[in-house]
Structure 1
């Protein structure tokens, strides 16, 4: 018979218990060792691959926020966000207030020079091109010399004027001499009248020669300076710019004959591009709603917006496209609107003032009702509103929002998503 131990257990039972205890201790030690390895490995991975560990931390923190929504949102329709969170989500705010709703028509437009600001530089005389002082795209001042033509016609006209001027001076002196003698009763009246007639004829020939030079586009100062000019300059005719602007066409080259029959009559085409026009193709159905003076907007490829006005509503319909043409004028101080470019034009057909206007991007549909998010000290409060008239970019608020209240106007879908995390009642 086996004797019991001092603690009351028999010998074999005590051995079995000791064996189980040793196995449990070994398993526990193995699990503890494995747990230590996992913790160390996680720390190493987190330090080596922060791009992996960061999303995991964000994921666990996001889950914690969802489980405990009371930490982020109150029960009064408030979406709690810190200033850093608002900036990170790129949520912009702006005050609601009065404004204007605009009904717009969008139509294709082609930019063209203003025909009232185009100048064509004519040769005006027959000759050959001696100088071309401007290239395509150069700026030109009013009355600036931009070309020189060698012309026999000009040389003959200048020579005729100089001869007439000499003859005039001579006949003037003879007339004054005969007049003095006649007044002193020294000479006969017949000689005095003959000198007077010769002087009148000389004056007439001088006036005709001056008019001929003026017809050849010589200025008064150029005509006055002719007697002091060298003989070699008699054949040269300076061509001046009729307007200030930019060279948009150069039609001749050096040495080219111009001004004669079958020869080029124009040297340059200039345009003042500080004002340009848009030729807008408008469907017949919309043509009746367009009036002179209506606002027109065009946007360039670099997102610049230019404002102009309708100046002409052409009633003649293009048969091929069945559309009318509307001309709008635009200021172009830095020449960003280039003639020939195709753009979309927005014509303001009607403008309606409203007391409270908000961007359409500020609205979100929640439970099939338009909702905005009003700025609060610690976030945003969602609020149902009543919408009145709208246009392409804005909406009128008839109830639910007062002028001056700041609301979120961009990335409002982020606030909608935050509000949807729990069933937040509206204000």
Structure 2
């Protein structure tokens, strides 16, 4: 009986051992279904085309990627900052002709004046001296002419030798020369009166843009300026342009400009001053119509590129492996497509080649796709 019990226990142990071994073999030989799916998914990632990001439109939108399309027409443009300035030769600096003390100011800043309008009055000792010299020269010339008339009469009667008459004539000519010089000096000084009072007049029509003189101010030889007069009807548009943009312009080129408050105007380039090293070029243009007031801030639009060129949002262009690229919608994802870019302005970039214009591309949020692409390549390399 004991022997039978022993064999029964031994048989049960063998059966149990065989069962455990069979189960373990099934566990290692048959991976879990989840692991099979993961392996298949990993195999799919390895099969994805290079430069491709698998992402549905819904997931792209959720990630902030906005689909858009390239646009045609107008090309791109550059914005040139500028302002309205008085044309060369249309602004006059008015100086007092001589030193003195300002006694009265007859105009103010912004006053419109005509040629010859009195701006200021001053009293000058130098002016009084110049007038006195002129009066003295006039008296001396008058006396010399009287002496010449007397000597000529005496010569006609034989009471005066010719040599003496010649001396009298020379003295008269000398007196005339001194008078002319004295009168020219007085005229250059603004024709002061005998009391030295001088009036300073406007040399041209225009507007007083700056007034320096004030009653009581003493003007001296180193500082004689009293005002500035500008002919505001002779204004021009002045723009700062980078050297690359300046090369697109020449006298006769047309520009479209706009003031800060939205007023549009057309202009024609009259001159382009080359840029100094590291600086900007100066572009001068004349408005085809009435120009805004001097000092008005404005900007010019300079078209660049073809008139029927393709442009995309600037943020749509991403650098992928050192090459400018655009993410184009392709099937169930986005494909990085290399492009050749042109000028960038106004938030858009010109595409010279690489797109046909019929694509749907990632605009806003394209950097998300670039980051996802870089992440996928990093994982693949690992």
TM range (shorter): 0.5 to 0.7
Are residues 1:330 and 2:287 paired?
yes
Given that 1:294 and 1:347 are in contact with CA atoms closer than 8 Å, whether structure 2 keeps it comes out as no
What TM-score does the superposition give when structure 2 sets the normalisation length?
A: 0.55
Verify the 8 A CA contact 2:112 2:208 in the aligned structure 1: yes
Aligned to 2:102, the other structure's residue is in SS state: strand
Specify which of 218, 243, 246 is matched with residue 257 of structure 1.
218
Q: Which of 255, 259, 274 pairs up with 1:315?
A: 274
Q: CA deviation at 1:239?
A: 0.7
Matched-pair contact (CA < 8 Å) for 1:275–1:331:
no
Q: CA deviation at 1:257?
A: 0.2
In the alignment, which residue of structure 2 is the partner of 1:423? none
TM-score in terms of structure 1 length = 0.50
Aligned-pair distance for 1:188?
Answer: 2.8
**Which deviations, in whole Å up to 9, do the C-alpha atoms of 1:207-254 show, x marking residues without a partner?**
221222233244xxx8xxxxxx7x4xx411111112211111111211
Q: Matches of residues 400-415 of structure 1 in structure 2 within 5 Å?
A: none
Q: 1:196 to 1:299 in 2, by over 3 A?
A: same
Counterpart in 2 of 1:285?
Answer: 244
Contact 1:250 1:267 in 2 (8 A): yes
Counterpart selection for 1:273 from 232, 235, 248: 232
- Equivalent positions of 1:196-211 (< 5 A) are 196-211=169-184
In 2, Cα distance between equivalents of 1:208 and 1:143: 24
Cα deviation 1:312-359 (Å, max 9, x = unaligned) = 21212463xx533212233675xx62333321113467999xxxxxxx
Matched position secondary structure for 2:171: helix
Could you tell me how far apart the structure 2 residues matched to 1:200 and 1:207 are? 11
1:191 corresponds, among 127, 146, 164, to 164
Q: Say if 1:276 and 1:270 are closer, same or farther in 2 by CA, change over 3 A.
A: same
Q: 1:248-272 CA deviation, whole Å, 9 max, x = no partner? A: 11112111000245xx320001111
Contact in 2 for aligned 1:275/1:329 (Cα 8 Å): no
How far off its partner does 1:303 sit? Answer: 3.9
Partner SS, residue 296 of structure 1: strand
Q: What does residue 324 of structure 2 align with?
A: none
* DSSP-derived class of the 2:274 partner: strand
Unpaired segments of 5 or more residues in structure 2?
Answer: 1-73, 308-345, 347-382
User: Deviation digits for residues 58-92 of structure 1, max 9, x if unmatched?
Assistant: xxxxxxxxxxxxxxxxxxxxxxxxxxxxxxxxxxx
Give the drift of 1:190.
4.0
Q: 1:138 to 1:327 in 2, by over 3 A?
A: same
Q: Note the 1:25-424 alignment, pairs <5 A.
A: 105-218=78-191, 231=194, 234-261=195-222, 264-317=223-276, 319=278, 323-330=280-287, 337-347=292-302
Q: 2:213, 2:107 → 1: CA distance?
A: 11
Q: CA deviation at 1:111?
A: 2.1
| Residues 332 and 209 (structure 1), Cα distance of their counterparts in 2 relative to 1, 3 Å cut | farther
1:181 aligned counterpart, secondary structure: helix
